Amino acid sequence: MKKLIFIFLTFIIALLSSGIRAQEYYATNLNPESERPVSTIYLMPNVYPAVILEGDTVACMWLKDFIKYSPLTFRSTKDQVAYTKLVRDVKKTLPYAKEIAAIILETYEYMETLPSDKERQKHLNRMEKYLMDQYSPKMKKLTRSQGQLLMKLVDRETNSSSYHIIDAFMGSFKAWTYNLFANMFGNSLKVRYNPYNEDRVTERVCVLVEQGAV
């Protein structure tokens, strides 16, 4: 089963083209009092845009929402160990899921620039070999449970199941075929991420990891 999960994950990644969208920064270039342009500088070593306002350097940055959870109470040592393992697995797989989501976005945009289905297929074939070489060593290091978690986190980041991703890039027949093999081992590529029900603890851990709290 671990080998099958590896094949599915590698296949999904191999469908995607490389390239990660650069992080965007924001800084106003207007003085809020006079609406006149002001100078923009960058603070080092952290690169933040900044403006000079009345002789003072003011850094400009986006502040993300912060979610505060109440402390967990574990009913048993077994539950505590399971939670600790979940934190470890999320830390390992969530970066992959975010990377895949960024690649999917770039892929859709790039494929729109190609003139024909033939050119699009050639591009996918080239990227398949390249990404198999890049990601195969990483995917082999994942356990079975981490592979299953990664498929759910891909859904979290893209709002698309593994089945829908394969369907979009390779067609319905291949998506159906891969899902049929998954069903033989008690799994499904159509499984969805549900942060309000069975995946609520996973969502908690994901948010805490994103905030740097764990």
pLDDT (tens digit, 9 = 90+) per residue, 93-117? Answer: 999 989 888 887 787 778 788 888 8
Which pLDDT band, with edges at 50, 70 and 90, does 28 fall under?
A: very low
27 close to 40: Cβ distance less than 8 angstroms: yes
Shortest CA distance to 203 belongs to which of 145, 170, 168, 155?
A: 155
Between residues 123 and 194, the one the model is more confident about: 194
Peptide bond into 45 cis (omega under 30): yes
Non-local CB neighbours of 64 within 8 Å, separated by 6+ positions? 211
Which pLDDT band, with edges at 50, 70 and 90, does 152 fall under?
A: very high
Torsion of CA 184, 190, 195, 201, to 10 degrees: 20
Phi then psi for residue 173, to 5 deg, are -65, -45
CA 101 to chain centre: 5
pLDDT in tens, 63-101: 777 788 888 999 999 999 999 999 999 999 999 989 888
Which pLDDT band, with edges at 50, 70 and 90, does 17 fall under?
A: very low
* CA separation for the pair 154, 199 (Å, rounded): 13
Is residue 167 classed exposed, middle or buried when 0-12, 13-18 and 19+ CB atoms within 10 A define those classes? buried
Query: How much is the CA Rg of the chain, to the nearest whole Å?
Result: 22
Angle, helices 77-111 vs 117-140, to 10°: value is: 160
